[in-house]
C-alpha cells in the first residue's frame, strides 16, 4: 500500500513537471561580458538542480576523505579497547582461579593497553593484588609506582589497596602513610577505618583502637559483639602498657561501660592492678561486681588472695558464703572459702571447705592447701598424705 502511494506520488510529480514545462515558455538570460547566453528557463532549472546535487555529492566526498584518518584512529582505539577489555576479563578469571602469575601478566598487559584512567586503575590494582598473592613484592611495588605516576598520589583506590597489602606484609610505617592519606581523602569511609583499626591493633596502640571501634560502632560497620571483644582486648592492653595509680585506675574503671566492668578478664586485670598499687579494697569491689553480674569462678583465686584488714576479711567471708548458696558445688568457691576461713583462723571450717572442694573435684591446689593447714595443726602424717596427692595430680 505504501509503495503504491509512492508510485502515485512520483507519477503525479512527473505529470505536473511536464505540464509546467509545456506551459513555461520563458527564457533565462545569462550575461558574462563579453558573452551573453540565452537559454530556456526549463533547461536552466534542470541545470541548476543538477549543479546543486552535484555540489552536494562533491562536498560529501570531501568530508568523507577528510575524516578518513580520524575514523581510522577511532577504529584502532576501539580495537585496542576491545582487546584491553578481553585481557582484563581473562586476568580476572585467572585471578579467581588462583593462577596468580598468569593474572599478573594479563592484567599488566591490559593496564598498558588501557587508554582510560579507570581501566588503567582497575587493571593495575588487579595486577598488584595478584603479584602480592605470589609474594612478588618488587613487582607489586613497581605496579604501584606506575599507578601513582599515571593517576597521581591522591587516588583513593590505589591508597586503599596499597595500605591493605603493605599492612599484610607488616610494613607498618609505609602502610600508615597510605591509610592516613586515604582517611584524609574520605574521612567517613568505614573500610579505611577498619584498615586503620588493623594497623593500630598490630602497633599495640590501645587508645587509637578504642577510638576507632567507637567510630565504627556508631557507623554500624561492625557488630556489637565484635566491637565489645576488641574494646576489652584494647583495655587489657592499655592496663598492661600504662601502669596507673589507684586514683587513675578508679577514674578509668568509671569510664568503662557496665558490660566491660562485668567482664571477668577486665575485672581480673583491674584487680591485679589495684593489688599492685596496694589498693585491695578497690580490687575487692571490682571482683565482687564482676562475679555478681556474671559468675566466673576463675576470678575467685584472686579474690581469696587479697590482703585486707580484719573487717574486710569478714566481709569477704560473708560474701563468699552468700555465693555458696547459689553455687554449692563450685570447687573453686569451696577452695576460696577454705582460704578465707584459714585467714580468720577458723581451722575446722577451713578444713571442711578444703575437703569439700576435693570431694567435688580433686585438684593439686586444694590438696596442697589442706596439707599446709594440717601441717599448721601439727598433723604431719595426714599432711604428708595430701602433699603426695597434690604432687601426683600436679605431675599428672
pLDDT score at 82: 78
- 338 and 289 in a common domain: no
Nearest to 344 by CA among 379, 373, 385, 374: 373
Rounded CA gap, 375 and 383, in Å? Answer: 6
| Domain termination residue (choose one: 66, 95, 116) | 66
| Residues 160, 104: Cα–Cα separation, whole Å | 19
Report whether 371 contacts 390 (CB < 8 A).
yes
Report the run of H or E that residue 32 belongs to, with start and end.
strand 27-32
Determine how many CB atoms are found less than 10 A away from the CB of residue 266. Answer: 22
Domain boundary pick from 48, 66, 84? 66
pLDDT of 129 = 93
pLDDT recorded at residue 163: 92
- Candidates 343, 337, 353; CA nearest to 376 is 343
Which stretches of the chain drop beneath a pLDDT of 70?
A: 11, 13-26, 28, 41, 75, 77
Whether 333 and 272 share a structural domain: no
User: What's the confidence (pLDDT) of residue 28?
Assistant: 66
* Domain enclosing residue 334, as ranges: 327-396
Which pLDDT belongs to residue 238? 86
Structure-block grid coordinates of residue 155: 587516588
Decide if 11 is inside a domain: no
Domain-embedded: residue 376: yes
The answer to whether residue 189 sits within a structural domain is no
In a domain, 268, yes or no: yes
Identify whether 78 is part of a domain: no
- Of 66, 94, 117, the residue that ends a domain is 66
pLDDT value at residue 24: 65
- Residue 23's pLDDT is 63
Spatial neighbors of 299 by CB under 8 A, at least 6 apart, are: 264, 267, 268, 271, 287, 290, 291
**Looking up cell 610505617, which residue turns up?**
173
Looking at residue 114, its pLDDT comes to 79
The per-residue pLDDT for 67 is 74
Q: How far is CA 286 from CA 249, 268, 293, in A?
A: 11, 8, 11
- Write down the pLDDT at residue 157: 92
Listing DSSP states for 116-130 in one string gives SHHHHHHHHHHHHHH
CATH number for the domain that contains residue 381: 1.25.40.10
Number of domains within the chain: 3
Let me know if residue 279 belongs to a domain.
yes
Domain-located, residue 316: no
In a domain, 393, yes or no: yes
Question: What digits encode the pLDDT tens for the residues 267-302?
Answer: 888 888 887 777 788 888 888 888 887 788 888 888
Dihedral sign computed on CA atoms, order 48, 53, 56, 62? negative
276 and 336 co-located in one domain: no
Question: pLDDT at position 342, please?
Answer: 87
Residue 135's pLDDT is what?
92
How does pLDDT run across 172-190, given as a tens digit for each residue? 889 999 999 999 998 888 8
Amino acid at each position: 500500500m505504501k509503495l503504491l502511494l509512492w508510485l502515485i506520488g512520483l507519477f503525479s510529480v512527473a505529470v505536473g513537471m511536464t505540464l509546467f514545462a509545456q506551459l513555461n515558455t520563458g527564457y533565462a538570460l545569462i550575461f558574462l561580458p563579453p558573452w551573453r547566453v540565452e537559454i530556456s528557463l526549463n533547461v536552466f532549472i534542470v541545470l541548476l538542480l543538477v549543479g546543486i546535487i552535484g555540489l552536494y555529492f562533491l562536498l560529501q566526498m570531501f568530508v568523507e576523505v577528510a575524516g578518513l584518518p580520524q575514523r581510522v584512529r577511532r577504529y584502532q582505539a576501539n580495537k585496542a579497547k576491545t582487546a584491553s577489555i578481553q585481557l582484563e576479563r581473562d586476568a580476572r578469571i585467572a585471578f579467581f582461579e588462583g593462577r596468580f602469575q598468569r593474572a599478573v601478566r594479563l592484567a599488566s598487559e591490559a593496564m598498558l593497553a588501557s587508554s582510560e584512567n579507570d581501566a588503567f586503575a582497575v587493571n593495575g590494582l588487579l595486577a598488584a593484588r595478584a603479584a602480592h598473592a605470589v609474594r612478588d613484592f618488587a613487582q607489586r611495588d613497581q605496579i604501584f609506582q606506575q599507578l601513582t605516576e599515571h593517576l597521581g598520589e591522591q587516588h583513593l583506590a590505589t591508597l586503599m589497596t596499597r595500605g591493605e597489602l603493605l599492612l599484610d606484609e607488616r610494613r607498618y610505617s609505609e602502610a600508615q602513610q597510605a591509610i592516613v592519606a586515604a582517611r584524609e581523602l574520605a574521612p567517613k569511609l568505614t573500610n579505611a577505618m577498619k584498615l586503620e583499626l588493623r594497623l593500630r591493633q598490630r602497633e599495640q596502640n590501645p587508645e587509637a583502637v578504642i577510638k576507632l571501634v567507637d567510630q565504627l560502632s556508631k557507623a554500624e560497620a561492625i557488630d556489637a559483639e565484635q566491637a565489645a571483644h576488641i574494646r576489652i582486648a584494647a583495655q587489657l592492653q592499655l592496663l598492661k602498657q600504662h601502669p596507673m595509680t589507684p586514683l587513675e585506675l578508679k577514674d578509668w574503671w568509671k569510664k568503662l561501660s557496665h558490660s566491660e566492668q562485668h567482664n571477668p578478664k577486665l575485672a581480673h586485670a583491674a584487680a591485679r592492678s589495684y593489688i599492685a598499687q596496694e589498693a585491695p579494697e578497690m580490687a575487692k569491689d571490682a571482683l565482687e561486681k564482676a562475679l555478681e553480674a556474671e559468675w566466673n569462678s576463675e576470678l575467685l583465686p584472686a579474690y581469696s588472695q587479697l590482703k585486707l584488714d580484719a573487717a574486710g576479711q569478714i566481709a569477704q567471708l560473708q560474701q563468699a558464703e552468700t555465693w555458696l548458696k547459689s553455687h554449692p558445688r563450685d570447687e573453686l568457691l569451696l577452695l576460696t572459702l577454705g582460704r578465707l576461713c584459714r585467714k580468720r583462723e577458723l581451722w575446722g571450717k577451713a578444713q571442711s571447705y578444703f575437703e569439700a572442694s576435693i570431694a567435688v573435684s580433686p585438684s593439686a591446689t586444694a590438696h596442697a592447701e589442706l596439707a599446709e593447714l594440717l601441717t599448721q595443726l601439727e598433723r604431719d602424717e595426714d599432711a604428708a598424705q595430701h602433699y603426695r596427692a597434690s604432687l601426683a595430680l600436679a605431675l599428672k
